[in-house]
């Protein structure tokens, strides 16, 4: 497809509407990126530009994006890619999406209207499962509830969907590229300090549950629990006692199979995480006891 199918030309600026740049960090996302580009092409409010920040994909991701008229810039880890895309973007608003989300046709129109009406500087939205299976639905409901509860203490914004004013993004210095994990939580925390941050309720972003399908619900949950403890202590995650994969995902697995717990893998992960987690809990208890 040609550029014109993805770009909502700058005539909108003449109507006083903000210029919107969609930024997608990628690494070997050939199984997911085409569906996202298709979804963006049929939005009721089209993005003004789409930028893919590619971290050296070997599966044809960058070539696919280029063939669809999308601008390509060099990327890296998610924080690096998002920042690189933001620097190249022309938009007043920056919508950071991961390749494995699938926004419904009215998604951009709805979130922009609410974002502007509530005068947010940075915002995210609740999540939904792409495939709609029951287990994934329960996970999404629990995640959304947790986001609501934790906001006053520790603002959260899943990196796969963050909407920012360019001015706010630049004022914060963008995403912290020194972090290996939870750079999105750090971004949300700083966003709240520098401006108005919130969760949009007008639309939900369907996201792949591919990590659950690949790593198992409990094993992945332990990793996230470790990160959450650090987040509650206000500590950035620059090193983690476990592997967190990027660029290794093929087509989505079904996450409600009987082997989703994956006990052998869980035991191996737990042995590495346990001592670090215990230290973090003790530190958190000491801080709360002060």
In the predicted structure, residue 7 carries a pLDDT above the cut 80: no
Give per-residue pLDDT as tens, 217-228.
Answer: 888 888 888 888
Over 80: is that where the pLDDT of 60 sits? yes
Residue-level pLDDT at 242: 74
The DSSP string of 60-123 is SHHHHHHHTT-EEEE--SHHHHHHHHHHH---SEEEEE-TTB---TTHHHHHHHHHHHTT-SEE
d(CA 63, CA 60): 5
Q: Which residue has the higher pLDDT, 278 or 33?
A: 33
By three-state DSSP, how is residue 268 classified? helix
Three-state secondary structure of 134-184: HHHHHHHHHHHHHHHHHCCCCCCCCCCEEEEEHHHHHHHCCCCCCCCECHH
Three-state secondary-structure class, residue 281: helix
Q: Which stretch of 20-34, 67-81, 209-223, 263-277 has the lowest confidence by average pLDDT? A: 263-277
Label residue 123 by pLDDT band (50, 70, 90): very high
Under a CB-based contact definition with an 8 Å cutoff, are residues 105 and 194 in contact?
no
Instruction: Sketch out the chain's domains with CATH numbers.
Output: 16-208 (3.90.550.10), 214-288 (no CATH)
Closest alpha carbon to 71 in 46, 50, 42: 50
Q: Are 273 and 223 in contact (CB under 8 A)?
A: yes
């Amino acid at each position: 497809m040609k550029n014109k199918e993805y770009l909502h030309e700058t005539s909108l600026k003449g109507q006083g509407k903000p210029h919107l740049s969609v930024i997608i960090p990628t690494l070997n996302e050939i199984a997911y990126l085409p569906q996202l580009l298709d979804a963006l092409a049929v939005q009721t409010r089209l993005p003004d530009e789409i930028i893919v920040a590619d971290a050296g994909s070997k599966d044809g991701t960058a070539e696919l994006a280029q063939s669809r008229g999308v601008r390509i810039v060099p990327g890296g880890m998610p924080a690096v890619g998002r920042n690189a895309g933001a620097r190249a973007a022309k938009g007043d608003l920056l919508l950071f999406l991961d390749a494995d989300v699938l926004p419904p046709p009215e998604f951009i129109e709805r979130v922009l209207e609410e974002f502007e009406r509530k005068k947010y500087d940075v915002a995210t939205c609740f999540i939904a499962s792409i495939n709609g299976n029951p287990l994934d639905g329960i996970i999404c409901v629990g995640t959304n509830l947790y986001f609501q509860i934790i906001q006053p203490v520790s603002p959260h914004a899943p990196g796969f969907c963050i909407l920012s004013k360019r001015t706010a993004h630049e004022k914060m210095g963008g995403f912290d590229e020194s972090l290996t994990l939870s750079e999105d939580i750090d971004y949300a925390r700083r966003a709240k300090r520098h401006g108005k941050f919130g969760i949009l309720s007008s639309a939900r972003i369907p996201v792949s549950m591919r990590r659950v399908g690949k790593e198992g619900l409990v094993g992945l949950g332990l990793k996230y629990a470790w990160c959450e403890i650090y987040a509650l202590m206000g500590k950035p995650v620059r090193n983690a006692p476990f592997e967190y994969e990027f660029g290794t995902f093929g087509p989505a697995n079904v996450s409600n199979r009987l082997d989703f717990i994956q006990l052998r893998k869980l035991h191996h992960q737990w042995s590495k995480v346990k001592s670090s987690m215990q230290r973090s809990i003790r530190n958190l208890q000491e801080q709360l006891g002060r």
